[in-house]
Chains A and B, each alone.
Chain A
């Protein structure tokens, strides 16, 4: 599904992505973990096209991803969510989702189609809100949502794009325990239809969802393996965990 080969990206003297090779297999949830500043978001940004790598290749669904402009990647089925919530603040929750549907249906330049008159789009948007637990907030302006709900909306917008591969950049960031649990359930329910690359600090979430885990430290992938193997991997324990237990990370 997604194949990254020898990817590198430097900012001045800092090598944020250091010869990274990574494969996300179709139908799996692949987690990317690593300490703060390891370059996880930088990697996600290169896959989604917000940053251009210095060297290396990314192949998505058989096509050369780096040849595809960032705004065309969602149309190809590659969709990201943001670590820092990024919704359209004055739009209602429903309109935030409807805007994504509009874009993916190639209706951006419809000058004469009244936005509020598209019943089909509205129904689809509401179905997605239903799935993501936001149905009751459909008419709320996004800026008035609680933090956890904004995170849910972020996911709803990503799902509206009907992705083949979902890049999730710390979807649980700042969420309460309950919210985090229901989002975990939601992601779990999507595993049959959507491949995911998940960046997350909450280790409970990572270990309950991931089929495979890659560990990124100082821009380098030091291990890629099944969750159980990662848990017992010496390199990972030394480089990433230091003296901490793996499970404690989630508390931070």
Chain B
């Protein structure tokens, strides 16, 4: 077992693997897996942002996919109007990445501000239920948007967002673009949790009632981290919309919030690298379990691969208290 003094080396190794991955996959004649790798990186952004709430602040948010969906729909709706040459509330549609992506982050943050301002008036189980409710509200809102495909969602017919120099429609370029954003977000979170504000979050998680008497209003601090996490999820959603060139209400369904939560718990709450590992293991199992069973000729399991998937997740969580992180690292002190 490694101690967390080995974390920098672990980060370096992980970064190296992610950087050379497209070459390896191309060399192994499996370049179609670059698309899977891109999904992993995007999913990891969403998972890390959720852990800011669950692991670092003690806020179990069960509606995190809502912000993921908002980010995706900002990209989708702007692409739709660009294609149709129509306007949205007087604004032209656009594929310009330098406009779309910041806007996706901003609008997700605004949604998080509104939802957080209401949801954070509750605590514990009530907070879980109210975030779940808001998530489902957004889900049904998107379902009701007939102009944008309703239930079925909509395609981005003109392809991904457009950036200067970078051609995001090239899948290797898009992978590196997502990897760069993931890295920036990860570094941001790494600094955040070690900042003075991060210390306040940790204190709130451990003894919220004490905060008032030392002059801190927990509500404001929790709202700020809720907005930051929501913006992070929105960023991930915007990238995912670009990745699949398709958005649908399914992105905001409560089962997606559940997936994110499982990933965080599986990886190890209260750590940053844990949810990243969780996202990788979760998506790899989801991707390859059916294939493995197919190869083994076990068609029944291939069809019902979740029967195996579930117990694997449960076993990892049962035997490693801080998830995959706890399997690899022993925390100091």
Contacts and interface: CB of A to CB of B under 8 A. Distances in A.
A88 B206 contact: yes
A87 B210 contact: yes
A88 B210 contact: yes
A109 B194 contact: no
B214 interface: yes
Contact of A114 (B191, B211, B217, B224): B191
A116 interface: yes
B212 interface: yes
Interface string B93-105: 0000000000000
Nearest to B224: A109
Interface in B181-199: 191-192, 194-199
B215 interface: yes
Given A86-B207, A88-B203, A99 B214 contact: yes
B200 A161 contact: no
B195 A113 contact: yes
A109 B197 contact: yes
B200 to A, nearest CB: 5
Interface size class of B (residues with CB under 8 A): 20 to 34
A71 B209 contact: no
B217 A107 contact: no
B213 A79 contact: yes
B211 A102 contact: no
Nearest to B207: A88
A108 B196 contact: yes
A75 B211 CA distance: 13
Contact of A110 (B195, B203, B210, B333): B195
B212 to A, nearest CB: 5
Contacts of A114: 191, 194-196
Given A79-B213, A80-B213, A108-B216, A115 B207 contact: no
B221 interface: yes
Interface string A85-118: 0111111000100111011100111111111101
Contacts of A240: none
A116 B200 contact: no
B69 to A, nearest CB: 26
B207 A157 contact: no
A49 interface: yes
B106 interface: no
B87 to A, nearest CB: 36
A71 to B, nearest CB: 4
Interface string A102-145: 11100111111111101000000000000000000000010000
12 contacts: A50-B213, A73-B215, A82-B213, A87-B207, A87-B210, A99-B214, A102-B200, A103-B200, A104-B214, A109-B221, A118-B196, A161-B214
Interface of B: 191-192, 194-200, 202-203, 206-207, 209-217, 220-221, 224, 333
Given A82-B213, A113-B196, A116-B194, 14 more contacts: A48-B213, A50-B213, A69-B217, A71-B217, A80-B213, A82-B210, A88-B203, A90-B206, A98-B199, A103-B214, A108-B221, A111-B197, A114-B194, A115-B194
